[in-house]
């Protein structure tokens, strides 16, 4: 017995392997709440192996393409243009199939739409900007570089892009002697029913909540967002497989809530909802009440894309969860 243990240790030493204390972490939340962004930022801050930036080139170009189509669609819907205008450009974009590089016809069509006054007309009314993907302003200022034939994605591009996660995004991150095994599970409802398969032996669930939902019409008057996040969270926290699991509720996209919330009416949420601050407080209380008192829960407000330095603090906070007796964390 003793001999086989020491020969195992010797084999491990010869291979240069270290033994780590493993922590299993599930990153959950609805689509677009920031799960992939969080995993990528955590991996980067710990110098973990990342997918090379060139792999994202097509996704970034596709994001820009989709934004151009959306600008056109919204401009038509709000009678900012007649459907004949930009018809040729839209035909090119609708029929576009991605090859290795963007075809110059597609590049020119996109540039014509972006350089026109459509975008500025759309965003004049704050309500309309909500129809556009959140990353639209970034793409509107960076399109020349992205459409250049020598384009190579930057770190900022990788933070801002959006592509739906399909399957499981697994990331192993080593910090000292601890190996965080991060599983990002896709947030779309067709995948949510499989989340439970990953529950056994989970130490921590990081659950992301998009605060900018509070400024969306679908959150009010029985819209599909009303109560949605709380119900999803409740379904997770009620699982018997997670009775020993700690929860970190990350209320993300505060930057958007502040930006859009300034001119938004939150009255539909409940009596006394006069500002985005009161709406945020209400939403946080709603979500926290979905976690049973027997589970440890920590909640934090943040803007992942605006405050990238929070990663280190998150690691420290995660580590605190594994130390006994620590009941409160401070990420901000
Ligand atoms: N403005 C803003 N955008 C964010 C923030 N966090 C993430 N995003 C953007 O939201 C989109 C969806 O993020 P992603 O991580 O892919 O969401 P997932 O579906 O939960 O994995 C991406 O375009 C991100 O750049 C934030 O704090 N503020
Ligand atoms: Mg994702």
Show binding-site residues for Mg(2+): 36, 165
Rounded Cα distance, 303 and 315, in Å: 16
Mean pLDDT of 204-233: 93
Mode of pairing for the β-strands spanning 246-252 and 204-210: parallel
The larger pLDDT score, comparing residue 167 to residue 242, is at 242
Among residues 249, 190, 188, 178, the alpha carbon closest in space to that of 27 is found at: 249
CB 27, CB 184: distance < 8 Å? yes
- Ligand 2 centroid, distance to 125 Cα (angstroms): 29
Give yes or no for residue 137 having a pLDDT over 70: yes
What is the DSSP code string of 171-232?
EEEEETTEEEEEEEPP-SHHHHTTGGGG-TT--EEEEEEEGGGGGSGGGSTT-TTTTHHHHH
3-state secondary structure at position 72: helix
Question: Measured over all CA atoms, what is the biggest interatomic distance in the chain, rounded to whole angstroms?
Answer: 82
Q: Whose CA is nearest to atom 19 of ligand 1?
A: 32
CA of 255 to the centre of ligand 2 (A): 19
State percent of the chain over pLDDT 90: 48
Q: What is the mean pLDDT of residues 200-204?
A: 95
Can you tell me the mean pLDDT for 308-332? Answer: 53
Residue 172: CB atoms within 10 Å: 14
Ligand 1 atom with minimal separation from the 163 CA: 16
Ligand 1 centre from 26 Cα, in Å?
Answer: 17
| Residue 332 pLDDT > 80 | no
- Map tokens 């080593």 to a residue: 174
Q: Starting from the CA of residue 156, give the closest ligand.
A: 1
Q: How far is CA 228 from the centre of its chain?
A: 17
Q: How confident is the model over 127-141, as a mean pLDDT?
A: 78
Q: How far, in Å, CA of 133 to CA of 234, rounded? A: 28
Residue pair 178/21 in contact (Cβ under 8 Å)? The answer is yes
List pocket residues of ligand 1, CB cut-off 6 Å: 29, 31-37, 134-135, 159-162, 165, 187, 208, 252-253, 255-256, 303-306
Q: pLDDT (tens digit, 9 = 90+) per residue, 11-62?
A: 666 666 678 889 999 999 999 999 999 888 888 877 777 888 888 999 999 9
25 — phi, psi (to 5°)? Answer: -125, 125
pLDDT confidence band for 276 (50 / 70 / 90)? very high
Which residue's C-alpha comes closest to atom 7 of ligand 1? Answer: 34
Enumerate residues 6+ apart whose C-beta is below 8 A from 122: 71, 74, 75, 78, 80, 128, 129, 132
Look at residue 64 and tell me whether its pLDDT is greater than 80.
yes
Which residues are 174's β-sheet partners?
Answer: 179
Atom of ligand 1 nearest to the CA of 253: 27
Residues 114, 143: contact at Cβ < 8 Å?
yes
Binding residues for GTP: 252-255
Confidence of residue 139 (pLDDT cuts 50, 70, 90): very high
Band (pLDDT 50/70/90 cuts) for residue 147 is: very high
- Using DSSP, state whether 108 is helix, strand or coil: helix
Residue nearest to atom 14 of ligand 1 (CA): 34
pLDDT in tens, 222-261: 999 999 999 999 999 999 999 999 999 999 999 989 988 8
Triad 166, 168, 170: Cα angle to 5°: 135
Place 102 in a pLDDT band, splitting at 50, 70 and 90: confident
Question: What pLDDT score does 302 carry?
Answer: 87
The pLDDT score that the predictor gives to residue 59 is 92
Sheet holding 204-210, edge to edge: 169-175, 178-184, 21-29, 204-210, 246-252, 297-301
CATH numbers and ranges of domains, the chain:
20-51+165-320 (3.40.50.300), 55-160 (1.10.400)
CA of 165 from ligand 1 middle (Å) equals: 12
Q: What is the pLDDT of residue 113?
A: 94
Protein residue with least CA distance to atom 28, ligand 1: 253
């Amino acid at each position: 017995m003793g001999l086989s243990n020491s020969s195992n240790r010797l084999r491990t030493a010869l291979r240069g392997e270290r033994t780590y204390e493993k922590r299993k972490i599930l990153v959950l939340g609805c689509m677009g709440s920031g799960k992939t962004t969080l995993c990528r930022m955590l991996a980067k801050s710990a110098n973990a192996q990342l997918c090379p930036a060139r792999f994202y080139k097509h996704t970034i170009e596709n994001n820009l393409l989709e934004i151009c189509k959306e600008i056109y669609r919204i401009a038509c819907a709000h009678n900012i243009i007649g459907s004949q205008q930009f018809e040729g450009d839209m035909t090119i974009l609708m029929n576009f199939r991605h090859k290795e590089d963007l075809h110059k016809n597609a590049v020119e069509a996109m540039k014509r739409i972006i350089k026109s006054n459509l975008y500025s007309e759309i965003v004049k009314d704050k309500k309309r900007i909500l129809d556009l993907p959140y990353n639209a302003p970034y793409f509107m200022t960076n399109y020349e570089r992205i459409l250049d034939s020598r384009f190579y994605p930057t770190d900022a591009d990788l933070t801002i892009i959006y592509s739906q996660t399909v399957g499981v995004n697994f990331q192993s991150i080593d910090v000292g002697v601890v190996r965080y095994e991060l599983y990002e599970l896709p947030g779309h409802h067709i995948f949510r029913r499989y989340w439970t398969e990953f529950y056994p032996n989970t130490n921590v669930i990081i659950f992301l909540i998009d605060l900018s939902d509070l400024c969306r019409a679908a959150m009010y008057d029985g819209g599909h967002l009303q109560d949605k996040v709380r119900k999803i969270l409740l379904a997770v926290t009620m699982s018997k497989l997670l009775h020993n699991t700690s929860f970190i509720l990350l209320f993300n996209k505060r930057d958007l809530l502040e930006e859009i919330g300034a001119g938004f009416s939150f009255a539909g949420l409940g009596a006394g909802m006069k500002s985005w601050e009161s709406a945020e407080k209400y939403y946080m209380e709603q979500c926290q009440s979905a976690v049973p008192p027997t589970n440890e829960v920590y909640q934090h407000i943040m803007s992942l894309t605006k405050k990238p330095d929070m990663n280190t603090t998150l690691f420290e906070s995660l580590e605190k969860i594994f130390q006994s007796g620590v009941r409160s964390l401070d990420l901000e």
